[in-house]
Amino acid sequence: MPPAPTLLGVSLKMYFGHRQTVDWCRDVARMAAEHPAVGSGAVDLFILPSFPALVPAGQAFAGGPVRLGAQNLHWEDGGPFTGEVSGPQLREAGCSYVEVGHAERRRLFAEDDRIVAAKAAAALRNGLIPVICVGEQQRMPADEAAATCTAQLEAGVRTVTDGQQLQVVVAYEPVWAIGSSEPASVEHIRAVCSRLRTWLAGQDRFPHHRVMYGGSAGPGLLGRLGQEVGGLFLGRFAHDVGALAGIVDEAAERAG
Ligand SMILES: O=C[C@H](O)COP(=O)(O)O
């Protein structure tokens, strides 16, 4: 059986201005269209720009292999929720993915496991693939980190009971490695991702699941990770489209 496609995601957080975001998305669309591994499906690539850029970014990616997603959504599908964006709106805007429970949202916007669970359910209800972020706060041994992250994941999907063919992506992001200069060690990443995969594999709810690593991930990491790590969730080190193209090359090499 051929290896599963490597999943690469990029969240632009709030780093770029609007024009810069749209230009960057056009450059990524061009790079992906020219890269055989993205076209062939050996590498799945999704991009999460800020809300205002979703529509022009979707236009930039239209007809190509890059999938669009958002960095957040509200848990309700509509109503008096000033300043919020719903799952149905994201679907209409062309999103396939939506990020849920990033460490920055948990820390700065008081998102707890209950909110994460409601948002994950909203994503799935609306046909969006949730990218559920989990990660330990402090450095700790890999087995403790794995137990912490598995408990977070369990809490984050506890209201999801549907037996349909639900797809979920789990982004393992140790909080201490986000915005840092170096990712976690390869051994640590592999151990935690492996435990998360084992937990997901035991859930009938999620026949399609992938586990990726984020937290100062950049060029040179993917090739050192095993198949238990399904891909990378990138931040700053994908701002340079050339660097992102290099990571796509590494993903293509992994596919053989
Ligand atoms: O969403 C992406 C992650 O939080 C990683 O960000 P970073 O690579 O800039 O540390």
| pLDDT per residue as tens digits for the range 186-207 | 999 999 999 999 999 998 888 8
Share of the chain above pLDDT 90, in %: 89
Q: Is the pLDDT of residue 165 over 80?
A: no
**How far is Cα 225 from Cα 115, in angstroms, rounded to an integer?**
31
Nearest atom of ligand 1 to the alpha carbon of 217? 8
Tell me the pLDDT band of 252, cut-offs 50, 70 and 90: very high
Nearest C-alpha neighbor of 241 from the set 226, 211, 219: 219
Quote the pLDDT of residue 207: 86
Q: Is the pLDDT of residue 111 over 80?
A: yes
Q: What is the 3-state secondary structure (H, E, C) of the chain?
A: CCCCCEEEEEECCCCCCHHHHHHHHHHHHHHHHHCHHHHCCCEEEEEECCHHHHHHHHHHHCCCCCEEEECCCCCCCCCCCCCCCCHHHHHHCCCCEEEECCHHHHHHCCCCHHHHHHHHHHHHHCCCEEEEEECCCCCCCHHHHHHHHHHHHHHHCCCCCCCCCCEEEEEECCHHHCCCCCCCCHHHHHHHHHHHHHHHHCCCCCCEEEEEEECCCCCCCHHHCCCCCCEEEECHHHCCHHHHHHHHHHHHHHHC
Quote the pLDDT of residue 80: 98
Tell me the pLDDT band of 255, cut-offs 50, 70 and 90: confident
> For residue 207, is it within any domain?
yes
Q: Which of 99, 173, 209, 250 is catalytic?
A: 173
Q: Is the pLDDT of residue 148 over 60?
A: yes
| pLDDT per residue as tens digits for the range 35-51 | 999 988 899 999 999 99
Q: Is 154 a catalytic residue?
A: no
Q: Is the pLDDT of residue 238 over 70?
A: yes
Quote the pLDDT of residue 164: 64
Cβ of 235 less than 6 Å from ligand 1: yes
Nearest atom of ligand 1 to the alpha carbon of 218? 8
CATH number at residue 158: 3.20.20.70
Q: Is the pLDDT of residue 4 over 60?
A: yes
Domain containing 56 equals: 6-255
Quote the pLDDT of residue 163: 62
Quote the pLDDT of residue 159: 85
With the most atoms of ligand 1 within 8 angstroms of its CB, the residue from 8, 10, 11 to mutate is: 11
Cβ of 236 less than 6 Å from ligand 1: yes
**How far is Cα 111 from Cα 159, in angstroms, rounded to an integer?**
16
> Contact, 231 vs 26, CB < 8 A?
no
Q: Is 102 a catalytic residue?
A: yes
Count how many domains the chain has: 1
Q: Whose CA is nearest to atom 2 of ligand 1?
A: 235
> For residue 1, is it within any domain?
no
Tokens of 34: 């020219």
> For residue 54, is it within any domain?
yes
Q: Which of 35, 74, 99, 102 is catalytic?
A: 102
The CA 49 to ligand 1 mean position distance, Å, reads: 13
The CA 8 to ligand 1 mean position distance, Å, reads: 12
Quote the pLDDT of residue 39: 86
Cβ of 215 less than 6 Å from ligand 1: yes
> For residue 176, is it within any domain?
yes
End-to-end CA distance of the chain: 12
Q: Is the pLDDT of residue 1 over 60?
A: no
Cβ of 237 less than 6 Å from ligand 1: yes
| pLDDT per residue as tens digits for the range 12-38 | 999 999 999 999 999 999 999 999 999
Stretch among 1-15, 93-107, 121-135, 166-180 having the lowest mean pLDDT: 1-15
Stretch 92-107: mean pLDDT: 98
Q: Is the pLDDT of residue 235 over 90?
A: yes
The CA 55 to ligand 1 mean position distance, Å, reads: 23
Tell me the pLDDT band of 2, cut-offs 50, 70 and 90: low
